[in-house]
A = this chain, B = another copy of it.
Amino acid sequence: MPNHVELLCIGNELLIGKTLNTNAWWLAKRITALGLEVKRITVVGDNIEEIVKALKEALRRKPKILITTGGLGPTFDDKTLEGIARALNQKLEINQDAYKMIEEKYRSYVRDGKIDKFELTPYRIKMAKLPEKGEPLPNPIGTAPGILLKHGNTYIVALPGVPPEMEAIFNESVAPLVREKAKGVTFYEMSIHVNGIVESEIAPLIDKAMHDNPYVYIKSHPKSAEKKLHIEIHFSTTAKDANIAKKRISRTLIQISELIQAKGGKVKVPKKAI
């Protein structure tokens, strides 16, 4: 049974390099920490055909959870909900719960003096038009609600693109779902920093340590060009028990540190590893 997550980030601003995709980074970090594996991230523009194609492709890979970001707002190029409806062959219709959420937001904006008069224009009602089987997820700090729906064995979650809104909805409504699907498995990681040795000399040492410690994944990250000789070595594992995870990583980390020192490299080990 696949148990992975996919992210689909929607927005021209990501494809023209106007906006750095911090949403994908934030979500990947949070989801990994909560115990599920993010297997693929896709970015497409505000183009309905591209969105539908990317959604259908992702669904064929049967992720446990498929999270989209962006495209939920009131403008013409907010097309995510239409894309989900088309990809799933569902109608797009006004959802009463979403309608009430949006109505209440605009009433509060009148009270706060942000807008002059209360009015639900077609642009505002658009945000309440969900794929028929979708349910809205409250947006604690913005207007457009998130959306949750289940299709086959996949949960589809649509989050807004504005980072604080995306994070707030994730924390409130999506994190519990991710934690539940992770079934108690958690991700653990640690790094050491190495100087005075090139990556190609470390490569066989990683092979040896990974052979001896099959549950630990080790990856070297040269922090600049190889000749600068500063390399981070990152250790990660997933486990249900924090002590087991910590022991696995510590053992591997000590082994590789000794191997590197024997080759003349200098190693900086974090205090928590010892």
Q: Is the CB of A40 within 8 A of B42?
A: yes
Checking B18, B29, B50, B221 against A39 with a beta-carbon cut-off of 8 angstroms, the contacting residue is B50
Chain B residue nearest to A197 in the complex (CB): B115
Q: Is the CB of B75 within 8 A of A203?
A: yes
CA gap between A183 and B26 in the complex, in Å = 38
Interface flag for A258 (CB, 8 Å):
no
CA gap between A114 and B225 in the complex, in Å = 12
Q: Is the CB of A227 within 8 A of B24?
A: no
CA gap between A41 and B16 in the complex, in Å = 11
Chain B residue nearest to A61 in the complex (CB): B53
| Stretch with Cβ within 8 A of B (4 or more), from A7-15, A85-93, A147-155 | A7-15
Instruction: Determine how many copies of this chain the complex contains.
Output: 2
Q: Is the CB of A219 within 8 A of B114?
A: no
Chain B residue nearest to A115 in the complex (CB): B198
Q: Is the CB of B219 within 8 A of A46?
A: yes
Q: Is the CB of A28 within 8 A of B46?
A: no
| Stretch with Cβ within 8 A of B (4 or more), from A129-137, A204-212, A249-257 | A204-212
| Stretch with Cβ within 8 A of B (4 or more), from A116-124, A171-179, A240-248, A266-274 | A116-124
A5-37 interface mask toward B, CB cutoff 8 Å, 1 = contact, 0 = none?
000000011111111111011111111110001
Among A15, A37, A45, the most chain B Cβ lie within 10 Å of the Cβ of A15
* Closest 9 pairs (CB-CB, A-B): A17-B29, A17-B28, A41-B43, A142-B225, A74-B200, A123-B203, A141-B225, A16-B32, A75-B203
User: Mind listing 21 A-B residue pairs with CB under 8 Å?
Assistant: A12-B219, A16-B32, A17-B25, A17-B30, A20-B21, A24-B43, A39-B44, A39-B50, A41-B41, A73-B203, A73-B220, A75-B206, A75-B219, A76-B210, A114-B227, A114-B229, A115-B201, A141-B225, A142-B226, A162-B224, A162-B225
